[in-house]
Amino acid sequence: MAHFLQSVRSRKRSNASAKEAHLSCALIHLAEIAYRLERVLNFDPKSETFPKEPQANVMLTKQYREPWGVPTTL
């Protein structure tokens, strides 16, 4: 957290890109989903979904309270 705040204050690039941070956190989230469902899951990195696993796909996000949310298109 301190490194992040220092980057914000200095306006200099941090050590890791947003993509690297996403991939690092994603591994933990994917492992948590498999643990909760108590089975091995196959993950498609291109679509970032679990093919043929609707129960697991539901766990990839959450429902947000209005008016907050994640845009579906950029």
Q: 32 in a domain, yes or no?
A: yes
Q: 67 in a domain, yes or no?
A: no
Quick one: pLDDT at residue 39?
A: 96
- Domain of 38 in residue numbering reads as 2-6+14-58
Q: 72 in a domain, yes or no?
A: no
Quick one: pLDDT at residue 71?
A: 79
Asked if residues 37 and 43 have their Cβ atoms less than 8 Å apart, the reply is no
Total of domains in the chain: 1
The whole-angstrom separation of Cα 5 and Cα 26 is 22
Asked if residues 69 and 56 have their Cβ atoms less than 8 Å apart, the reply is no
Residues above pLDDT 70, as percent of the chain: 99
Q: 22 in a domain, yes or no?
A: yes
Asked if residues 26 and 43 have their Cβ atoms less than 8 Å apart, the reply is no
Quick one: pLDDT at residue 36?
A: 97
Instruction: Give the tokens for residue 5.
Output: 């705040």
Quick one: pLDDT at residue 74?
A: 65
Q: 23 in a domain, yes or no?
A: yes
First to last CA, the chain: 28
Q: 71 in a domain, yes or no?
A: no
Q: What is the pTM of this model?
A: 0.69
